[in-house]
Structure 1
């Protein structure tokens, strides 16, 4: 599926009066095949199987992988905690001062679980032939925060912006190489998660995130490989900075007003979002999910480039009937379109 022309795929979505959905959703598949989250994030075969089973069950317009924001940090040497039924997390602080930033080496792609994620994407791309498979990676500012500590990086950009730039460039160089390796697996794109940039002002988001994201996009994005920039920390204050990156699509979290976001996204780029993955998908009843989905579809009806999605990766233990209700609402909305 790697040879799919993603610009044509996007244009078909924009031209079609019927809406499509691309929820970021793997955990229900993990549960469906009786595996744990730890299984999926450490074993590429289990991960790919979870992706495949969900695509067989639901009419998503694209398949997505787990949004695991520890893979790249682990490759750099960060310590990771692996709960059985939750996504991994970074513990401690790898870099404690500017000298550590200077001496930090950009790792090879054989470190940590990179190989397992490349395997998962390769297997998913081989087994899913009817829709694009979208890989996942972290964004440069979010990675820098996981290596240097999130609070500390926010101070560093003001106290020592030169050191911050060195770290961000090293993160960017690694993510670029990782994305090129993901591209080589045959997937059709990558969802780049840059939530920490949502903590910044629009100006700082531009300087410390978007400039580096654009570097990556310029090197990896082409007709057959799309970058979807995800920022669930954006409440609307840094959409302008996001769209300067030139990504083919932008994915928004539930903190933002989706219509306001759509007003700032170029008409030839996809804008995806933004149902609350916890409050709606996990905690609501099926009927509430259906009504919230229909409401979002109706509110965004004037924007052909809108793609229905969750606001972030849906968490473990989302009731299957809620996912069914999400797709039922989509089908109901599309009737007669």
Structure 2
């Protein structure tokens, strides 16, 4: 049985001989051919070469072509900020100062921006590995895309102008349909709607603004006889059930969510679930054995029906190649790996962290704990909320970001007892965990800490 057949059986909710494996090697693919993230996200030949290397080294059952949630945003007028080892981030939002809904004439077209490059690579990959590997086309989900257009104002809009918010999300949903249509024509087997900011809103707001658009979107995909997947990042625990109610073929979650509890919910709806190997503590900073142990534990504690093993999200650029291979080996040869791990002991680095004397601070300290605001959309908008507060208060407050990709910050997160990313602490006290505050809320919370 090919990997593609294995993925298809899983997404049809049938019994399989083993659990399938999908490495989300977006920018990390560039590392395999020694080019940076921007090069593979803008140069079709380099992207194609890197994807073939992913396919050869990691032996995936399913494989994404492009993991960049800014393709649609760029076409719709968002200004991007590029990095060498991460996908671009949106730095300017065309609707931040005006409540407009773009007309349907502005929906992404096949010849816009980087879309032609992506479609060409999709067709080339389909021809090269499409018989054996299930190919995933990823689009930026409607809420995150609407946020790219409107900026952090959208979190205020949900309360103050719900009708405008609905209209903007409907437009973004139509953009998703367009992208899905193009990707299906290019031969994609699975359309994955990647909407990280879903984790930053309540189930009530999900039902109010996203439930019906998502039902419509997954129906649209299913009518075209391809599979669908609903990707979310961050702690979307409270929204797993309502995500399942949108009726995708699968959902994909990251390390912020308990996989066992989430799978109990997805099994109730007979929906496949994928995830959730930690990106930094295990894949980036762990050893081969750490990766084997985490993967084996996932396999041992979860029923194998309706299950896909994958990184929690887009793999960091510098994940050691041997760590990803270790995950693949564990999935394919669990009994052999079990023997390798007989004498395994987890070794934690002893990094000394000094916390501020929060009681003696002269002005409020806003600490933002993120996976990395340059690569994680939810983290970007959490950090942007803090930056807006800094712009408002100026030197009367201090703002600092702690990125979970840095070992010292991992130790700080553990010492502080931070449970979910992204989170905002003010003077050492948790204020917002996986919920992006609107501007007025955050300003009020900071003002309460003013001396």
Normalised by the length of structure 1, the TM-score is 0.91
Match of 1:288 in 2: 290
Separation of aligned partners in 2, 1:7 and 1:333: 19
1:211-235 deviations in Å (ceiling 9; x for gaps): 2222221112247411110011244
* Alignment size in residue pairs: 331
Conserved 8 A contact 2:240-2:265: yes
Runs of 4+ in 1 over 6 A off after TM superposition: 4-7
Report the Cα offset of residue 28 of structure 1.
3.7
Shift of 1:51: 1.5
CA distance in 2, matches of 1:297, 1:102: 46
What runs of 5+ residues in structure 2 fail to find an aligned partner? 338-451
In structure 1, distance between residues paired with 2:316 and 2:84: 13
Question: What's 2:25 paired with?
Answer: 25
Please give the per-residue CA displacement for 1:271-317, whole angstroms capped at 9, x wherever unaligned. Answer: 100011122111111111111111111111x2411111111010101
SS of equivalent residue, structure 2 residue 113: coil
Partner of 1:58: 58
> Over residues 163-190 of structure 1, what are the superposed CA-to-partner deviations in whole Å (9 max), with x where a residue is unaligned?
1111111111111011100000011112
Shift of 1:23: 2.3
Q: Please list, as runs of the form range in 1=range in 2, the aligned pairs for 1:299-314 lying within 5 A after superposition.
A: 299-300=301-302, 302-314=303-315
| CA distance in structure 1 between the aligned counterparts of 2:37 and 2:322, rounded to whole angstroms | 20
- What corresponds to 2:9 in structure 1? 9
Shift of 1:241: 1.2
Residues 1:102 and 1:40: Cα distance change in structure 2 (over 3 Å): closer
> What is the aligned-residue RMSD (CA, Å)?
2.3
Aligned to 2:222: 221
Deviations 1:224-277 (A, max 9, x none): 411110011244100011111111111011100001110111464211000111
How far residue 111 of structure 1 moved from its aligned partner, in angstroms, is: 2.0
Shift of the alpha carbon at 1:334?
Answer: 6.1
1:27-106 → structure 2 map (5 Å cutoff) = 27-101=27-101, 106=106
CA distance 1:104–1:20, change in 2 (3 Å): closer
Specify the alignment match of 2:186 in structure 1: 185
Farther-moved stretch of structure 1 (126-135 vs 95-104): 95-104
Q: Where does residue 327 of structure 2 map in the other structure?
A: 326
Partners in 1 of 2:275 and 2:108 — Cα distance?
Answer: 34
> Which secondary structure state, in structure 2, belongs to the residue aligned with residue 192 of structure 1?
strand
1:17 to partner: Cα distance: 4.2
Quote the offset at 1:127 in angstroms: 1.2
Unpaired stretches in structure 1, ≥5 consecutive residues? none
Secondary structure of the corresponding residue to residue 283 of structure 2:
helix
Change (3 A) 1:240 1:316: same
1:8 to partner: Cα distance: 4.8
Residue 328 (structure 1) shift:
2.1
Q: Specify whether residues 102 and 228 from structure 1 end up closer, same or farther in structure 2 by C-alpha distance, changes over 3 A only.
A: closer
For the pair shown, which has the larger CA radius of gyration, 1 or 2? 2
The CA distance in 2 between the partners of 1:102 and 1:36, in whole Å, is: 34
| TM-score (norm. length: structure 2) | 0.69
* Structure-2 residue corresponding to 1:206: 207
Between the aligned partners of 1:248 and 1:127, the Cα distance in structure 2 is 26
Distance 1:83 1:263, change over 3 A: same
- Give how far 1:7 is off: 8.6
Higher relative contact order (CA 8 A, sep 6+): 1
